[in-house]
Structure 1
Amino acid sequence: MPDAGDMIPLSDVAGAVKLGQVFRRTTSSYKFLWFLSILDLVASRDLQIGKALRLSMPEIVALMIAKAWVPTQRFRLNFGHWDKMTQRIEELKSLKIVRLDAADDEHSVIRALNSLKSDQKAKYLEEIYKPLTRYVPQHFLSPWSGSAEKDDANWSPYRRVGHSDEIEISYPWAQYLQENYQVLKGFALWKFAGYLEDRNTNVPGLNQRLEFTGARGSLSVPTEFWRSYLINGKVKTDIYGEPIVESDGSFSFHLDHFLPWHFVMHDQIWNLSPVNSNLNSSKSDRIPQVDQFIRQFALQQQKLLHFHLQREQQEKTEEYFYAQYENFFGCEVSVLTEMPETSLITLFSDRFQPMERTALNMGFERWDRVMATASIGN
């Protein structure tokens, strides 16, 4: 692993080298979120040559909350038991002054905070904003303190403007942050991911959970991979026993993530299964009872693979999906297709049950298939 200092871009700004020390022995998420928020704001500003840039601390803090909202609320990442940002977000939720949902993105959170009415804003400033700004701005600058150069305006990244709610970034520093925005952001996210790995063991796709854009890949290719098997295999129901064939004989289904996308953060074929469209909507981001459905799921996947391996002409899409199976299960697809039922179910259980436990521990809800089926009937 490279030394943190090796990842900091070289600069004529003497104090820039100190950035490599910012996240050493970090015990709370606020430094990462503070720096990432400042980076985004500086990148969005037009600089005037030679003129310092001022940023509003309420604006920085609002962006910090928005950046923490996605990984903690949408993806249920644990920032640590004593984490200050997590405490502030829980406090914000308990105040009930903003209407936010776990699925909201950064922009939605910012809009909600900017739309606070005067009485709501007073509560927010007292309970959320002030506790965060009491220590964060000063603690972040600790690598630059105690130096003979500390009185130089260009030495540290910013200084607080008197007793106001603003920080001032000298022109050389602002220019440096803008010009090296992508590299510095990558550095901060890399360090943040390392911080979170210690607190979220066995969580897949952790880096993707830090900055979620809302964009998801198309399922058109895996859907066709499944459709050809369903048609030729004359499959009538999904693994939950619900119909996927219309009265006219046409297939109607959604390709469902057996373990929800917001947990696995990918569309790999071994986690996908065609299900009744209404049932898929009911299941959403909930976790199925793996031991209850793993037999049907494993056998369905085995039949899918067997069908495609028997085809005379193999295409690149088949090879791409085969590689996903082989990487996940640790054996060739030809072995999977010939595996006895008992061994197959054991293999699938060994892979999926630990992931099921992790998802439930992260706060994903259990899916009640009986209630879901009843709602379809209604």
Structure 2
Amino acid sequence: MNLNLPFSDNLPTNKLSASFANTSATYKFYWLIAIIEIVEKGQVNIKKREIFSRMISNSWYTVNYFHVSFGKQDLIQNAVEDILKFESLTKDIKKENLLSILENSKKIETKKLLEHFNLNVPHWFLSPWFPKLKDENNSNYKKRIYSYSQNFENCCLYGLYDENIIVNPIWIPYLKSNSKILKDFCYWNLSLFLQSRNPNVPDIPNKLIKPAIRNGLTKQTNEYWKNVFKELGYVECIFTGTKLLFEEKNFAIDHFIPHAFVSHDLIWNLIPIERSKNFSKSDNLPIFEKHFEKFYDLQKVAFEINKHHNSKSRYMDEYLSIFPNIDSFEKEKFSNTIQPLITIASNNGFLYMNE
């Protein structure tokens, strides 16, 4: 798959495309996405702080929930992590609430973090429209781009001012009519950029935007684990040892390795655990040396019960990503899947459970 920018007969779309050449950080993608979102609302005279706030809010979930690394020197990741602490916010705060806080915060630390983007982001994005100015020293280069852009020279995307930008009128119809394709272009290239920095992290594209609603696990409960409860009478929580009873609903189906890392609901990563433990475990990691044995034993029993119940069940197929076939449930192959995922998740910032 290769996404390109929509062509235009009267606009230098090659300049816009060139803005993403030699990308070494995420800010260009989030800068353009923010501008497009605001233009969609009908604004063309846009405060920079509003754009910077959207850059943070659009990357918030990717950094704080999925723990995707943007690179050690990335301004956005550092700002997102710091603002989480400075403003005492939660990682799952709603985007609208976060935007309001960022646009209106009086805290010096937050204002400094947002204003820091103003040093380079707005004018460097326009550099393809002003290639002849690149020989200038950085200070003069920045001033001249500000000056030239205000006349929309070379059909540049926007004019730059101290506190705001003004979108070039000739670009507004293009941005509005192609908004979805342009955002898809940004997110697709952003996913490629981040995948190169997170080669072992699964499903990067689906970690760029917070899903509106997480899928429930009712089907897995009723179509798979109910068979196990019915056969065994009860299931023992691998973390607390509590007897879990299907009728009493004193359990929740949980991801052994957090959903925030694996980004899927495959049955080989799901087990029933005590409801209160599910709440306290949250998105923390199990300790492999302590929890894998019981996890494997429960998974194996559940697998054998459901295989006997219906060997053609779609849940049997979900194990094929680990085993070459469903004739055996090899401990070593299962371990070789689970242990690396836990290690990689830990390296990406996920914390281990407190016992």
TM-score by length of 2: 0.87
Which of 337, 341, 344 is equivalent to 1:355? 341
Partner amino acid for 2:318?
Q
Unmatched tracts of structure 1, length 5 or more: 47-52, 337-343, 370-378
Distance 2:30 2:275 in 1: 39
1:361–1:214 CA distance, 2 compared to 1 (3 A): farther
Pair 1:145-2:145 in alignment: no
Pair 1:83-2:74 in alignment: yes
Pair 1:10-2:19 in alignment: no
Unmatched tracts of structure 2, length 5 or more: 134-147
8 Å Cα contact 1:288/1:368 also seen in 2:
no
Instruction: Name 1:107's counterpart in structure 2.
Output: 96
Bigger mean CA offset, 178-187 vs 206-215: 206-215
Distance 2:277 2:220 in 1: 19
Identity, % of aligned pairs?
26
1:178–1:20 CA distance, 2 compared to 1 (3 A): same
8 Å Cα contact 2:227/2:305 also seen in 1:
no
1:99–1:115 CA distance, 2 compared to 1 (3 A): farther
Pair 1:227-2:226 in alignment: yes
Bigger mean CA offset, 28-37 vs 105-114: 105-114
Q: How does 1:325-364 map to 2 (within 5 A)?
A: 325-326=319-320, 328-336=321-329, 344-364=330-350
Distance 2:351 2:71 in 1: 21
* Cα offsets for 1:146-193 (capped at 9, x unmatched): 379986557221111xx4412111233111111111111111111111
Instruction: Name 1:340's counterpart in structure 2.
Output: none
1:298–1:277 CA distance, 2 compared to 1 (3 A): same
Distance 1:245 1:156 in 2: 65
1:251 Cα deviation from its structure 2 partner: 5.0
1:88–1:143 CA distance, 2 compared to 1 (3 A): same
Pair 1:205-2:203 in alignment: yes
1:91 Cα deviation from its structure 2 partner: 4.7
Instruction: Name 2:55's counterpart in structure 1.
Output: 64
* Cα offsets for 1:301-342 (capped at 9, x unmatched): 22222222223x667xx22x222111x204112333xxxxxx
Distance 2:84 2:303 in 1: 47
Distance 1:296 1:286 in 2: 18
1:282 Cα deviation from its structure 2 partner: 1.6
8 Å Cα contact 1:70/1:106 also seen in 2:
no
Q: How does 1:11-30 map to 2 (within 5 A)?
A: 11-30=8-27
Structure 1 segments of 4 or more deviating over 6 A? 147-151
Distance 2:27 2:20 in 1: 10
1:37–1:265 CA distance, 2 compared to 1 (3 A): same
Distance 1:61 1:258 in 2: 36
1:252 Cα deviation from its structure 2 partner: 3.0
8 Å Cα contact 1:257/1:272 also seen in 2:
yes
Which of 302, 316, 327 is equivalent to 1:322? 316
1:82–1:138 CA distance, 2 compared to 1 (3 A): same
Q: How does 1:179-190 map to 2 (within 5 A)?
A: 179-190=177-188
Distance 1:324 1:99 in 2: 40
Distance 2:118 2:214 in 1: 35
Partner amino acid for 1:352?
I
SS in 2 for 1:256: strand
Partner amino acid for 2:324?
C
8 Å Cα contact 1:66/1:105 also seen in 2:
no
Cα-Cα RMSD: 2.5
Distance 1:100 1:277 in 2: 25
Distance 1:143 1:56 in 2: 23
Pair 1:265-2:263 in alignment: yes
1:291 Cα deviation from its structure 2 partner: 2.6
8 Å Cα contact 1:70/1:105 also seen in 2:
no
* Cα offsets for 1:10-55 (capped at 9, x unmatched): 1133212322222221112211111111111112227xxxxxx222
Distance 1:295 1:23 in 2: 48
Which of 330, 349, 352 is equivalent to 1:366? 352
Q: How does 1:218-297 map to 2 (within 5 A)?
A: 218-224=216-222, 225-240=224-239, 241-245=241-245, 250-297=248-295
TM-score by length of 1: 0.82
Instruction: Name 2:145's counterpart in structure 1.
Output: none
